[in-house]
Amino acid sequence: MKKSLLTLAVLAASGAAMAQSSVTLYGIVDASFGQTKTGVGAASVTKTVLNSGEYSTSRWGLKGSEDLGGGLKANFQLEAFLAADTGTGAATGGFDRLSVLGLSGAFGTVNFGRQYNPLNAMRGAANSNADSNMAITGPVAKSLGGAVPDYTLRIANSIGYTSQDFNGLTANVLVGLGEDKTTTSGASSITALTAVYKKGPLVVGFGYDNDKFAGAAVPSYTLTHTLVNAAYDFGPVRINGGYERANKDTTNATDTDVYAGLTMPVGSAAKVYLGYAKTKGDANGVKTDGNGFAITATYDLSKRTNLWAGWNKVQAQNAAGTTTQDDSRTMVGVRHFF
């Protein structure tokens, strides 16, 4: 009888503990068939391909939380790449998309590890083409090899803070520790912050990023990125637009990018997305110019599976007006969430 009571007590205690924590396996598998073209003139190459992640990057992950009491929770998320076309994973074999441990409560959320630059979520909130990999609006300069590289997307050795929602307004701050200081050079660092207002059909955001790279292997330099964007859902159509400016101090280089798009529901299961972007670069008087277009469509077969199709094209010209890049993709695919 005592053993039975002890067993029941242990099971009850175990059940209570398990009720306070949870772990979820999740992911996206995206496979598509189509044609890609890269290069200009005689140097161009056209391929027929079966690819993974052309619309949404294929991935899998684990995430969970534990209720610590008093409104405090411990949270984690581990996420890895997945190639649906070859069955391979990340080159490192690890969780190099995300590796985050944090605490959340009335104060907001604090995360530690390898995590996304907060400008990424802000950019995606007012992006066209469902913020997919077919989009060219975020910004097109990244595809065109503009005068200034894009901000660092995932930041290792970082500490991030997300505020509570203040009547639609949230703030994010992230600091990345370079950990590469030597006797002859300082440490690299990344500081990024965003403020996003989201209320009903309206989204408005502001973001700033400062990337300092130490000079152990190359001369030290600093990149800065400033982003302002917005979107509004009118019901029959959702419109979005944004402006980005990026600078690199050592080459006196500047990129300016503008983009716009719209989303149109077609019935209850389909959507069509249009996007356009234009960029101008200037590095010590050497100018570049580029633009890009994208059109995509999705059709829901269920809540977790949809079909998609898309076409995009990016072009770049140098100061003389000579085309230096002319790339395009035409793809059809299927995407499943689990």
User: What is the mean pLDDT, run by run of 10 residues, along the chain of 338 residues?
Assistant: 42 45 94 95 94 96 97 97 89 86 98 97 89 76 64 95 97 95 88 97 97 80 95 96 92 90 96 93 86 95 98 89 90 98
∠ at Cα 197 (196, 199), nearest 5°? 145
pLDDT of residue 143: 44
pTM of the model: 0.87
Burial degree of 221 (CB within 10 A; 0-12, 13-18, 19+):
middle
Q: How far apart are CA 18 and CA 23, in angstroms?
A: 10
pLDDT of residue 215: 72
pLDDT of residue 184: 83
Cβ partners under 8 Å of residue 323, min gap 6: 40, 315, 316, 317
Burial degree of 55 (CB within 10 A; 0-12, 13-18, 19+):
buried
Q: How far apart are CA 282 and CA 290, in angstroms?
A: 12
Q: How far apart are CA 266 and CA 229, in angstroms?
A: 25
What is the token pair recorded at 225?
A: 């990125």
pLDDT of residue 20: 53
Report which secondary-structure segment, H or E, holds 165: none
